[in-house]
Amino acid sequence: MWKDLLVERRSKETLNALFFFGLLLLFVFQFALGPDRERLAGTLPGLLWLGFILSGLLGLGRTFVAERENDCWEGLVLAPGDKSAIYVGKLAGNLLLMLVIEAILLALFAFFFNLDLAGALPGLGVVIALGTVALAAVGTLFAAMTAQVRARELLFPVLLLPVEAPVLLATVKATEAVLLGEPLGSVAHWLKLLAAADVVYVAVGVLTFDFVLEA
């Protein structure tokens, strides 16, 4: 993991591109929906998570690109000891990357849509953290599965999006409530669902990663 983060910090390749991508997404949303502020405000939670998941698809899909391009895949496969350590490391790296991207996207949204986030920030942080763990946990697993497939750019989102459907529903609904200034208690059922999803996804990921990285 430290190696991945180090490479990322040195090159800033993914981060820069994803930042630019997020900015472009914002423009596209604005163009698609027109300048009507009220309509934009109503769709904001959905747009926000659409932005998160689209940049997540790009970022997570690249999890194992370095290994594949530099012919280190065998190194991963042959690594001694528990493969789940590799999974946890990759997951932590992806989490960090996505959280940085999401923070930047959130700031951009606040800037362009004239949002006052100060009050909603703690609640929003909880929702985003829970949702991001669920996204990254499945994303990291699927990225490893699709890394060796020819049409991986296509297969990765096609596999990930349906599985993440409940996470998306939960995060969008919870974000909506938090942005309206409601207390977190009012969306406790969504938060519990997200927490359950986090536990299930990470557990399945840790337990099955061994089988994904077999020779």
Interface segment toward other proteins; rule CB under 8 A; list 3-11, 34-42, 55-63, 143-151: 143-151
Taking CA atoms, 178 is separated from 110, 184, 190, 192, 208, in Å, by: 14, 7, 12, 15, 35
Interface segment toward other proteins; rule CB under 8 A; list 35-43, 45-53, 67-75, 207-215: 207-215
Q: Where are the alpha helices (DSSP H) in 83-120?
A: 84-112
Q: Does residue number 165 form part of the binding site for other proteins (CB under 8 A)?
A: yes
Query: Which of 133, 141, 178, 202 contacts other proteins by CB under 8 A?
Result: 141
Interface segment toward other proteins; rule CB under 8 A; list 18-26, 32-40, 66-74, 159-167: 159-167
Q: Which is nearer to other proteins, 39 or 192 (CB)?
A: 192
Q: Does residue number 191 form part of the binding site for other proteins (CB under 8 A)?
A: no
Do 49 and 22 meet the contact criterion of CB atoms below 8 Å apart?
no
Q: Does residue number 78 form part of the binding site for other proteins (CB under 8 A)?
A: no
Nearest partner of 108 among 180, 47, 171, 177, judged by Cα: 47
As measured in angstroms, the least distance from the Cβ of 132 to other proteins is 16
Task: Report residue 166 as tokens.
Answer: 């409940």
Do 62 and 14 meet the contact criterion of CB atoms below 8 Å apart?
yes
Q: Does residue number 204 form part of the binding site for other proteins (CB under 8 A)?
A: yes
114 burial via Cβ count (<10 Å: 0-12, 13-18, 19+): exposed
Calpha distance 50→108 (Å, rounded)? 14
**Binding interface with other proteins (CB under 8 A):** 138, 141, 145-146, 148-151, 155, 158-159, 161-163, 165-167, 169-170, 173, 189-190, 193, 196-197, 200-201, 204, 208, 211-212, 214
